A and B are shown apart, each in its own frame.
Chain A
Amino acid sequence: MKRLASLLLCLCVAPTWAGEVTGTPKLDIGRGGQCVEDTQWMRKNHMHMLKHQRDEALRKGIRDEKISLKNCIECHASMKDDSVIARADSFCVGCHKYEAVKLDCFECHSGKRKSAWLQQRDAK
């Protein structure tokens, strides 16, 4: 029984401990801040939220600004280049590279902050 309890304890402690391992990606989080959920929750669940939101927005026209990809980019794009994908330590690329998970959102979606994109277009 005690052995089982200690195993469970280890399982609970492991994630917080793993987060402090050196060599984890250092990200440029842009403006940062929390508007949806805390960091650990978002790390684990952002993909489910995005997948749910994309179907609601495109197929039903329910555009919830708060949990839209565009809103994520608005805060998390780098303050230097206004992008979440431009560099190896950009907000999205950093972790996806570290975890070796293919990031294909941005084959169609823009990784740029909208205000910056509009400025660039108007300058042309």
Chain B
Amino acid sequence: MSEIDTQRRNFLKTSAGAAAVLIAPGFMLFDIAHGKPQGASNKVRWGMLIDTAKCKSGCNDCVTACNRENGLSGGTAATDSQWIRKIELKDISSGREVSLPMMCQHCENPPCVDVCPTNASFKRVDGIVLVDKHRCIGCRYCMMACPYKARSFVHEPLHDQNPDVPRGRGTVESCTLCVHRIDQGGKPACAEACPNNVILFGDLNDADSEIAKKLRSLSSVQIRADLHLNPGVRYQGI
């Protein structure tokens, strides 16, 4: 073997070794990123049952708790974010009055997801409808499409957000069902704060859960059921 051949062989050997060392961190990245495979499960469908008979007119505790949890200003102007609202209904003929909280209904067939041009609006496998703000371009089609008027647009720059709830100007946002709490085994802030236990949170797919039992035994309605969106939030007593 000539001298040049030996040199070439050694060079190739060294390069292969160097390449292996360089690629190794790539494998490490893969291992770490997939270290914890369990995410949201498609066997679960999160939902809420709201008992309007127990909901007190004038009580705003769910709204206050939501604002505090998610860092909303609490303003109700057209340009302020509102993730949950208290609504007073009155039947004119009988005079019967009902008070209820209204928020994103986490539809099974969400129109906001249908219209989103960037796939920012999406439904997680466990039924929670969210906005991926990394993708949201702020076109607000989803706000137009939502029959529940549940979404808000952030008009002004924000500071000092909750580390668990990123929010920013130029994106659309709405009730997340407190997904950061759910992923840690908790329940939404509004359900926790309600003094009258109006809001029952649970897994609609689990036949043994309290919410599924109640839905089986009591009469409840979906708001705008005529649209066949199959919302995850149900109401009783209206």
Contact = CB atoms under 8 A, between A and B. Distances in A.
A123 B148 CA distance: 35
Nearest to A124: B68
Contacts of A107: 157, 168-169
Contacts of B4: 1
B96 interface: no
A112 interface: yes
Contact of B160 (A36, A73, A117): A117
Contact of A37 (B8, B25, B133): B25
A117 B28 contact: no
A13 interface: no
A17 B19 CA distance: 21
B75 interface: no
A68 B11 CA distance: 41
A64 B36 contact: yes
A113 B164 CA distance: 11
A114 B163 CA distance: 6
A1 B36 contact: no
Interface stretch (A23-31, A52-60, A89-97): A52-60
Contacts of A120: 160
Interface stretch (B82-90, B97-105, B122-130, B229-237): B122-130
B28 A37 contact: yes
Interface string A81-124: 00000000000000000000000000111101110010011000
A109 B166 contact: yes
A5 interface: yes
B69 to A, nearest CB: 10
A66 B33 CA distance: 9
Nearest to B133: A108
B3 to A, nearest CB: 10
B25 A63 contact: no
Interface in B20-56: 25, 28-29, 32-33, 35-40
Given A64-B36, A66-B35, A1 B11 contact: yes
B163 A56 contact: no
A48 interface: yes
B29 A45 contact: yes
B29 A48 contact: yes
A30 B162 CA distance: 20
B7 A52 contact: no
Interface in B151-177: 157-158, 160-164, 166-169, 171
B183 interface: yes
Interface of B: 4, 7-8, 11, 18, 25, 28-29, 32-33, 35-40, 68, 122, 124-126, 130, 132-134, 157-158, 160-164, 166-169, 171, 179, 183
30 contacts: A1-B11, A5-B11, A45-B29, A48-B29, A49-B29, A52-B29, A52-B33, A54-B134, A58-B132, A58-B134, A59-B122, A59-B124, A59-B132, A61-B124, A62-B36, A62-B39, A63-B39, A63-B183, A64-B36, A66-B32, A107-B168, A108-B161, A108-B168, A109-B161, A109-B166, A110-B162, A112-B163, A113-B163, A114-B163, A117-B160
